[in-house]
A and B are shown apart, each in its own frame.
Chain A
Amino acid sequence: MAVKTLTIDGRLVSAMEGQTVLEAAQEAGIHIPTLCHLDGVSDLGACRMCLVELGNSPKLQPACVLKVAEGMEVRTNSDRLRKYRKMIVELLLSERNHVCSVCVSNGHCELQDMAVELGVDHSRFDYIYPVERVDITHQRFGVDHNRCILCGRCVRVCDEVEGAHTWDMAGRGAKSFVITDMNQPWGDSTSCTSCGKCVQACPTGAIFQKGATVGEMQKDRTRLEFIVTAREKKQWIG
């Protein structure tokens, strides 16, 4: 495969053809904030946190689905990008009911970390306070739609790693929501293998282990990495 050379934040970086700008940046040690990206599953550019500036183009591009190209000039950390990223987090916070103080993921939450990283100390937007469901019909796990940011990681990890495709997305726009099977209670799902990959993949406290109390839900991504690495390197094929 051909090697492409591009510039990220003024640094010359080489990457393999077919890699994304996000991958190239990560390999070069350049940090681009992400929320919907999860190592080992496909990217879909849902959260727009990884937007970058490209050459002289006025259009911003999501680094997670942008393929590298020869001579590309990428800027990852301009005032404009920081402003938009901050706004995205504020919009996410106002869109549903994120109450960190009583959340199972308080202190271990990617959305919370992102808010801290970007200096979101308040939201400029009015909170919508939607009435969202909490589904704890599953024997071991629960989903609280109040805390869901619609990143779709659960959908992808369930489909692409576990192969169950229990999760999917229903609805449109801000009214989208994740569903199990045909929008049935999770406890009634016949496809769910109770593997817990969605719990580990979820960046917030939206999907959690039942019985977890405030701040107790620490997601362990190394389990997913272990499976993904083994699959990529065909470690389990004799």
Chain B
Amino acid sequence: MSRQIIIDPVTRIEGHAKVSIYLDDSGEVNSARFHVTEFRGFEKFCEGRTLWEMAGITARICGICPVSHLLASAKTGDKALAVSIPPAAEKLRRLMNLGQFTQSHALSFFHLSSPDMILGFDSDPATRNVFGLIAADPELARKGIRLRQWGQEIIELLGAKKVHPAWAVPGGVRQSLTEESREQIRSRIPESLATAREALGICKRMRERYPAESESFGDFPSLYMGLVGANGEWEHYSGSLRVVDHLGYRVADGLSEDNYKDFVGEASENWSYLKFPYFKPLGYPGGIYRVGPLARLNVCDRIGTPLADRELQEYREMLSGAVANNSFLYHHARMIEIIAAIEGIERLLEDDDVCSHHLRAEAGINRLDVVGVSEAPRGTLFHHYHLDEDGKVLSANLIIATGQNNLAINRTVEQIAKRFVKGPDIAEGMLNRVEAGIRAFDPCLSCSTHAAGRMPLSVELVASDGEVLRTITRD
């Protein structure tokens, strides 16, 4: 008799999702699916709003990465105005995005994923969360929380709010740093860097500690997409898009977001509200690609800051091939990116432009079909607006990083389920591994902030006739 296991909701991720694991008659995993179970409709209710409100509205999509939408939207707005924004505004936007990378990556590691890695995948689910981490290693937890707080402080000092700052606008930004706030950020760089390096050290040891997990958490070939700078360096704000394959060969380079429809297709399935973007030239689902920290490190030639470049080199030497094809390495890549972000912040703060008052270019509506792109902590983010000639949004299309990882998350879930879940007696730790595989992508499903990991998890074994054979619940 075939059975179905449902993990609902998936915990310690941002948003709501569930996992179904389908068992065959012998109790072996046949297949698994990752469903996003909520519908929000932002693209629809942006219709009829003004271009200038779009940054503020789309930032509300997410409480963890509002800055990503803010920047992607402001960049789309720049294009509608057809302006080149003041250099200081670009530097400040970069600064905020790096603050965002720092806080979001710190959240992903310390608050959401480190309980699995430090306390163990099979540890008691009641304490396998950030509070358990605080009890087990208070000093590390404190450092992690402070690192995230520092990242958020950068956002707040620039945008007046930690969450949802309405700061980046079409044409530039609304305010710069004061000398005091510049020093305030600068003073905590050494501490932040030390914490990031400690976390990176933990990530490096994970492959030895969890060999089975690190082999099966999404280890498969796929394409990778991300922004790179003019000289192929790691990029998070501008540049062009590059796609590499699982061997590191460049499948496409110098792509412009303006033509994203030529290379990104969006499929949908009737069992999930999250779309399935794919690399168009390879079709669906063959055009499976990953975005985010893993992909950004796979597509770039180098990072461009000394410490991060050294870590990137060590990381690449550790890999068996030219690029990382294992989603378990998202954690490692994320920590290298935090170091890159902190070094980037340090470099930007040396520039007096961050205190400039020439911050905003003004113009009317000059282009009506515009696409903006930026790198969110979770990956490449596209905003595409159709405007009327007054600047009212006729239609909007937002392609979110997690969507682009959707195919890969599904494949990861199936891979882990096949490796670890053996029916019919399902241990909680087995299911936690399935969730941890999803967490590696740091998905942001609806972007609500369930950061503490205290959502209940219920797992149901359902027979093919719909009878619930067994329910496992944890609080």
Chain A residues at the B interface, C-beta cutoff of 8 Å:
101-102, 104, 134, 136-137, 139, 142, 187, 210-216
Contact = CB atoms under 8 A, between A and B. Distances in A.
A134 B48 contact: yes
Contacts of B362: 211
A101 B60 contact: yes
B56 A214 contact: yes
Interface in B166-209: 166, 169-170, 174
Task: Determine the interface band of chain B, counting residues with CB < 8 A from chain A.
Answer: 10 to 19
B60 A187 contact: no
A134 to B, nearest CB: 6
A212 B52 CA distance: 7
Nearest to B166: A214
A136 B166 contact: no
Interface in B341-378: 362, 364
Interface string B34-78: 000000000000001110110111001000000000000000000
Among all A-B residue pairs, the 9 with the closest Cβ atoms: A214-B166, A214-B56, A102-B56, A136-B390, A213-B169, A102-B57, A213-B52, A137-B390, A211-B52
Contact of B60 (A102, A134, A215, A216): A102
Given A101-B60, A136-B391, A187-B390, A215 B49 contact: no
A216 B174 contact: yes
A216 B52 CA distance: 11
Interface in B389-423: 390-392
B33 interface: no
Given A213-B53, A213-B55, A214-B166, 16 more contacts: A101-B60, A102-B57, A102-B60, A134-B50, A136-B50, A136-B390, A136-B392, A139-B364, A210-B391, A211-B170, A213-B169, A213-B174, A214-B56, A215-B166, A216-B166, A216-B174
Interface centre among B170, B364, B390 (most CB of A within 10 A): B390
B433 interface: no
Given A136-B391, A136-B392, A101 B50 contact: no
15 contacts: A102-B57, A102-B60, A134-B392, A136-B390, A136-B391, A136-B392, A187-B390, A210-B52, A212-B52, A213-B53, A213-B166, A213-B169, A214-B53, A214-B166, A215-B166
B275 interface: no
Contacts of B52: 210-213
Interface string B134-159: 00000000000000000000000000
Interface of B: 48-50, 52-53, 55-57, 60, 164, 166, 169-170, 174, 362, 364, 390-392
Contacts of B55: 213-214
A25 B99 CA distance: 51
A102 B390 contact: no
Contacts of A139: 364
Contacts of A101: 56, 60, 164
Contacts of A211: 52, 170, 362
Nearest to A215: B166
A29 B278 CA distance: 67
A212 B362 CA distance: 11
A234 B65 CA distance: 56
Nearest to A185: B390
A187 B390 CA distance: 10
A210 B365 CA distance: 11
A215 B53 CA distance: 10
Nearest to A97: B45
A214 B52 CA distance: 8
Contacts of B166: 213-216
A187 B60 CA distance: 31
Interface centre among A134, A142, A214 (most CB of B within 10 A): A214
A216 B53 CA distance: 11
A212 B164 CA distance: 16
Nearest to B168: A213
Interface centre among B50, B57, B170, B362 (most CB of A within 10 A): B50
A76 to B, nearest CB: 36
Nearest to B362: A211
A187 B392 CA distance: 14
A208 B166 CA distance: 17
A134 B49 contact: yes
Nearest to A205: B53
A200 to B, nearest CB: 19
A215 B390 CA distance: 21
Nearest to A186: B390
A215 B164 CA distance: 12
Contacts of A187: 390
A218 to B, nearest CB: 13
Contacts of A215: 166
Interface centre among B170, B362, B392 (most CB of A within 10 A): B392
A127 to B, nearest CB: 14
Nearest to A101: B60
Contacts of B390: 136-137, 187
A133 to B, nearest CB: 8
A236 B340 CA distance: 64
A104 B164 contact: no
A212 B169 CA distance: 9
A102 B392 contact: no
